[in-house]
Amino acid sequence: MAIAGDVARAVGRGRVLDWGAGWGQNAALLAAHGLSVVAYDVEDKGAARGLLAGTDVAYVVRPGPRLPFDDGAFDAVLNCGVLEHVDEPPAALAELRRVLVPGGRLFSYHLPNRDAWAEWLGRRLGRFHHERTYAEAEAVALFEDAGFRVAGCRPFHVLPRNVWAQAPALAAWLAGPVEAVDAGLLRVPGLRRLATAWAVVASRPD
């Protein structure tokens, strides 16, 4: 919910690409904010028959990294927990830059923090963790090296969010309390550096 609100406030009523849309939860929330949304993924997760059924969101499934969209087709791109999983992040970012209008914004959430408590715990217990993680300076450099201008990189969430990825109703019900607790945790001295991920906002230079 908060992610869609952030994008909507920044973009207004522009055209947004939800890159790596998964089950379509973020695309549906973006559309609910009045944005024109295209949901893209490299494999069919059933979003057109699921969360996006009955909406105006176009659901496009094609192999990557080349995107099936014209240059400058979008005012903004949302990348939510996707970039760290692609084989070639620089090539993927080059494509995202290509499909943005000059001055268009790339919103990247859930980019794994190398110092995150969740990453440490996952590795220690032999459970889920990311093979590719980033220190803050590395996260910024990743986008700048791809030709983006980074407007901000901030710690994003102490508490994990992916446990309800396929349950938007539950996410909506828990959003307020969870965000309030998380905001409090991020104010605790020293805890910010252990946040689960980074949120990066970058733009394609004019």
pLDDT, mean over the chain:
88
* pLDDT per position as a tens digit, 113-145: 999 888 888 888 888 788 899 999 999 999 999
Range of the domain at 111: 2-203
SS3 content of the chain, % helix, strand, coil (to 5): 40, 25, 35
- pLDDT at 147 exceeding the cut of 70: yes
Dihedral, CA atoms, 96, 98, 102, 108, nearest 10 degrees? 10
Burial 34-49 (b: 16+ CB within 10 A, else e): ebbbbbbbeeebebbe
Say which DSSP state 68 is in: S
Query: Which has more pLDDT, 174 or 18?
Result: 18
Tally the domains of the chain: 1
- What tokens does 22 get? 């998964």
CATH number at residue 30: 3.40.50.150
What is the pTM assigned to this prediction?
A: 0.86
Model pLDDT, residue 185: 65
